Amino acid sequence: MAKSFEIDKLPRHVGIIMDGNGRWAAHRGLPRSYGHKMGADAFGRCVRHAKLRGIGYLTVYAFSTENWNRPSEEVRGIMDLLRSYLKNADNYKKENVRTRVIGDLSQLDEDLRQMIVRVEENSVANDGINLNIALNYGGRDEIAKAAREAAKRLMAGEIALQQIDAAMITGGLYTAGQPDVDLIIRTGGESRLSNFLLWQSAYAELIFTGTHWPDFNGEHFDRALKEYAARQRRMGGV
User: Any idea which residues carry the catalytic annotation?
Assistant: 19, 67
- 88 or 163, CB closer to ligand FPP? 88
HEC string of the chain? CCCCCCCCCCCCEEEEECCCHHHHHHHCCCCHHHHHHHHHHHHHHHHHHHHHCCCCEEEEEEEECCHHHCCHHHHHHHHHHHHHHHHCHHHHHHHCEEEEEECCHHHCCHHHHHHHHHHHHHCCCCCCEEEEEEEEECHHHHHHHHHHHHHHHHHCCCCCHHHCCHHHHHHCCCCCCCCCCCEEEECCCCCCCCCCCCCCCCCCEEEECCCCHHHCCHHHHHHHHHHHHHCCCCCCCC
Give burial (CB, 10 Å; 0-12/13-18/19+) of 187: buried
Task: Give the shortest CB-81-to-ligand FPP separation in angstroms.
Answer: 4
Q: Which residues bind ligand FPP (CB under 6 A)?
A: 18-23, 36, 39-40, 43, 60, 62, 67, 78, 81-82, 85, 133, 188, 213
Name residue 63's amino acid: F
- 49 or 150, CB closer to ligand FPP? 49
Task: Give the shortest CB-213-to-ligand FPP separation in angstroms.
Answer: 6
- 104 or 149, CB closer to ligand FPP? 104
Distance of alpha carbon 31 from alpha carbon 18, whole angstroms: 17
- 78 or 108, CB closer to ligand FPP? 78
Task: Give the shortest CB-82-to-ligand FPP separation in angstroms.
Answer: 5
Task: Give the shortest CB-180-to-ligand FPP separation in angstroms.
Answer: 22
Taking the alpha carbons of 44, 70, 135, 198 in that order, is the dihedral positive or negative?
positive
- 18 or 97, CB closer to ligand FPP? 18
Task: Give the shortest CB-38-to-ligand FPP separation in angstroms.
Answer: 8
Name residue 147's amino acid: A
Task: Report the residue number whose CB is nearest to ligand FPP.
Answer: 22
